[in-house]
A = this chain, B = another copy of it.
Amino acid sequence: MLSWNRYGKSRIRLVKVDRSRPEHRVIDLTIDVQLEGAFDQVYRDGDNAQCLPTDTMKNTVYALARQHHIDQAEPFALQLADHFGRTPGVSKVAIAAVEQPWSRLAVNGRPHPHAFVQAGAEQWTCRTTRDAGVTTVRSGVTNLVLLKTTDSAFAGFPRDEYTTLAETRDRMLATSMTATWTYRTDAHDFTARERIRAALVETFAAHDSASVQHTLHAMGEAALGAVGDIADITLALPNRHHLLVDLGPFGMDNPNEIFLATDQPFGLIEATLRR
């Protein structure tokens, strides 16, 4: 006897950008939809006549996100609960959401209009080696999660038989940066890391990006320019793709507003700049 059942879609990743003011706003939600009801025939008989696909739930989240202003998780979760509560056969709906805060990047002490950071995930690193009397200090920062909602393009690239990517003049750019730099042998002021970090993130925010490579190069140059005590800097910038959701099948446009954040696959751009 089927005594309880529940089904739905979990971990629907939604990032919505509000561009209605010069100060863009970003809301980043991971949503679970769960429905309960009299679905015995689905389970027992394999009769799907009342089984709304979980794929439809995912589509619905993106379509409703386009139609509603979202400031915070709760009101949007209530709208989703209303919608799914009208599904035939459903007696109970639960909408769970996790909201990932993004802070505005501070540039020259002022909050930036369209560049953001997941403050706090980052860690400082160092690796000191002593080899045949020679000491080397490589320091860095890792897991510095950054996002900008505009001033990033990717176009003019070569196309071969397997290329399907569209050119874009305006895309989201998100990364989880790892930087490592080598101090000159006579360097002693390791608090320089704060100035290096500032140069990196301010350049990320301000740069008019033609590619991740292009921005990486500008960031590395800025770091070398900010601190004379470092001899080189290596940057690794995974491209955490935010895919523009195709809302066309639902008769809606998507003016760079509704994104699906992905973990994998990801682009990975790495380089070393040396004086």
In the complex formed, the residue of B with least CB distance to A99 is B124
Point out the residue from B2, B46, B118, B275 that lies within 8 Å of A120, measured CB to CB.
Answer: B118
Q: Contacts A3-B273, A6-B271, A43-B216 given; 9 further ones with Cβ under 8 A?
A: A7-B212, A8-B268, A10-B238, A34-B268, A43-B217, A53-B157, A60-B162, A95-B127, A97-B126
Residues B5 and A270 in contact, CB atoms below 8 Å apart: yes
Point out the residue from B44, B250, B271 that lies within 8 Å of A162, measured CB to CB.
Answer: B250
- The residues in A between 1 and 43 inclusive whose CB is less than 8 angstroms from any CB of B are 1-13, 32, 34, 39, 42-43
Chain B residues with Cβ under 8 A from A210's Cβ?
A: 46-48
Point out the residue from B1, B6, B125, B127 that lies within 8 Å of A275, measured CB to CB.
Answer: B1
- The residues in A between 93 and 152 inclusive whose CB is less than 8 angstroms from any CB of B are 93-101, 103, 118-132, 135, 137, 139, 142
Which of A72-80, A169-177, A198-206 lies at the interface? Answer: A72-80
Point out the residue from B56, B98, B213, B266 that lies within 8 Å of A10, measured CB to CB.
Answer: B266
Q: Which 4 A-B pairs have the closest CB atoms?
A: A120-B120, A46-B210, A11-B264, A46-B214
11 contacts between A and B (CB under 8 A): A3-B274, A48-B156, A54-B268, A55-B164, A73-B190, A78-B135, A78-B137, A80-B128, A98-B123, A99-B126, A103-B120
* Contacts from A to B (Cβ < 8 Å): 1-13, 32, 34, 39, 42-56, 58-60, 63, 72-75, 77-78, 80-82, 85, 88, 91-101, 103, 118-132, 135, 137, 139, 142, 154-165, 190-191, 209-214, 216-217, 232, 234, 238-239, 249-250, 263-275
In the complex formed, the residue of B with least CB distance to A260 is B265
For the complex, give the distance between the alpha carbons of A228 and B183 in Å: 44
Residues B213 and A5 in contact, CB atoms below 8 Å apart: yes
